[in-house]
Amino acid sequence: MPLTLTFEQFNLPASLLNTLKTMSFTVPTPIQIKAIPVGLTGKDVMGTAQTGTGKTAAFSIPLIVSLLHNPQQNALILAPTRELAIQIHSVIRQLTANSSELVSSLLIGGLSMKQQLRELARRPRILIATPGRLVDHLGRQSNLLTQTSLLVLDEADRMLDMGFISQLNAIKRFLPKKRQTFMFSATFPKSIKQLAKEYLFQPVEVSVGEIAKPIQKVSQAIIQTTHKEKNDRLVDELNVRQGSVLIFARTKHRTNRLTRYLLEFGYKAAKIHGDCSQGQRRSALEGFRAGKFRILVATDIASRGLDINDIGHVINYDLPQAPEDYVHRIGRTARNGKNGQALCLLTPEDRRAWQDIARFTGQTSTGFQRLPN
């Protein structure tokens, strides 16, 4: 299929085409070109694409078309984190702006359960949920998913990484067996292949680019340091770099401690991790987007699904536990064709983990720029 398609060539409903024009969607992205036609046929889709490739619209557009043509159908979209669920909900609301019959509801932790129950009473056609909160609702309303004939599992590998397999198995028991399913994943370990076998029926595989490889426009550098000097080296780098900075730490405790340290030095910094309330998360993300905070310190819960453009630098204060997460971390910079910078602060204890990352990304350690100690 040629890569010069327009959205008009998908034969979408006029109301949806008008909405896409309003949203300045003119030319489909590669993943949209591959996934939308398959999704419109009703077949299951197994998609491989990184964040920032337009995959949300790639599954949302055929989902909306099916709902418009079948008034008795409902849809469920599952996402691993609240941030990603909120982002998807925002896109869905924009895409359905001219379709008043397609009401959507967001079911995530950190928001009022009573408010969500009131929204469910309106019988929304599209549910966007995190697995844990959806299981809570299914305990109250076992018939919640009886008319769900469209299912999306977004960032399925992350859901497994975060330990949601028991919740996914519980949710599956409430879903109709006859349904269309979209599954998107950035990586393809054995666990994802097994999950695909359980959820998908004769899926069509679509992919864009290489699986879990660093974005080519990211300049990657390393600094060898020690635990004692790590904070000093971080401050040195912040002082010579311009623009916004996303810093990754390994744990919630280290995220809190590092944020306090930066604030004491006069930096405008915010944090985001699993123990932050929904209000704290929203304040940190909105402030970072608006430039109120130059620095955002995060755990890996923020490494996917963050809808933030123009991040100039990603600094790995701590290395991630899995090489795949390194790719997702540095993928926060160099979006929309721009160049980006990624830096790792390496201690002697990081040697083996760093070798695993270099091997996974297909680079030797000499392929990374070494900054002076």
pLDDT (tens digit per residue) in 7-55: 999 999 999 999 998 887 878 888 899 999 999 999 999 998 766 678 8
Report which of residues 325 and 22 the model is more confident about. 22
pLDDT at 337: 58
Last residue of a domain, one of 207, 235, 260: 207
Predicted TM-score (pTM) of the model is 0.65
Residue 138 belongs to a domain? yes
| Same domain membership, residue 11 and residue 155 | yes
Cα separation of 208 and 225, whole Å? 37
Whether 372 shows a pLDDT value over 70: the answer reads no
| Same domain membership, residue 266 and residue 137 | no
Whether 143 shows a pLDDT value over 70: the answer reads yes
| Same domain membership, residue 290 and residue 203 | no
The pair of three-digit structure tokens given for residue 79, joined into one six-digit string:
């996402």
Cβ atoms of 185 and 155 within 8 Å: the answer is yes
Cβ atoms of 353 and 284 within 8 Å: the answer is no
Q: Which domain holds residue 135?
A: 7-207
| Same domain membership, residue 256 and residue 192 | no
Residue 213 belongs to a domain? no
- Nearest by Cα to 84 from 127, 120, 128, 41: 128
Residue 301 belongs to a domain? yes
Amino acid type, 277: S
Residue 110 belongs to a domain? yes
Strands 180-185 and 218-224 turn out to be unpaired
Cα separation of 355 and 187, whole Å? 19
Cβ burial 265-276 (10 Å sphere, 16+ → b, else e):
eebebbbbbeeb
| Same domain membership, residue 360 and residue 335 | yes
| Same domain membership, residue 194 and residue 232 | no
| Same domain membership, residue 294 and residue 197 | no
pLDDT (tens digit per residue) in 82-130: 888 988 998 999 999 989 899 999 999 888 899 999 999 999 999 999 9
- Nearest by Cα to 279 from 287, 268, 290: 287
pLDDT (tens digit per residue) in 186-234: 877 788 889 999 999 999 999 886 544 445 678 889 999 999 999 999 9
Highest mean pLDDT pick, 208-217, 321-330, 350-359: 350-359
| Same domain membership, residue 282 and residue 154 | no
| Same domain membership, residue 16 and residue 155 | yes
Count of domains for the chain: 2
Domain with residue 30: its CATH number is: 3.40.50.300
Last residue of a domain, one of 176, 207, 238: 207
pLDDT at 259: 97
Backbone angles phi, psi at 72, to 5 degrees: -90, -5
pLDDT at 1: 42
pLDDT at 364: 55
| Same domain membership, residue 246 and residue 306 | yes
Angle at 242 between CA 240 and CA 248, to 5 degrees: 85
pLDDT tier, 161 (very low <50, low <70, confident <90, very high otherwise): confident
267: Cβ contacts below 8 Å, ≥ 6 apart:
238, 294, 295
Last residue of a domain, one of 177, 207, 237: 207
Residue linked to tokens 């900054």: 371
Report which of residues 62 and 309 the model is more confident about. 62
Residue 212 belongs to a domain? no
User: CB burial class (10 A; 0-12, 13-18, 19+) of residue 41?
Assistant: exposed
Q: Averaged over 181-190, what is the pLDDT?
A: 86
Amino acid type, 159: M
- Nearest by Cα to 60 from 32, 79, 23, 81: 32
pLDDT at 246: 95
pLDDT at 318: 95
pLDDT at 207: 86
Report which of residues 38 and 352 the model is more confident about. 38
Q: Please give the order of strands across the beta sheet that includes 180-185.
A: 104-107, 126-129, 74-78, 148-153, 180-185, 45-48, 204-207
If residue 342 lies in a helix (H) or strand (E), which one and from where to where? strand 340-346
Cα separation of 92 and 10, whole Å? 18
| Same domain membership, residue 230 and residue 196 | no
Residue 2 belongs to a domain? no
Residue 41 belongs to a domain? yes
| Same domain membership, residue 154 and residue 261 | no
Residue 66 belongs to a domain? yes
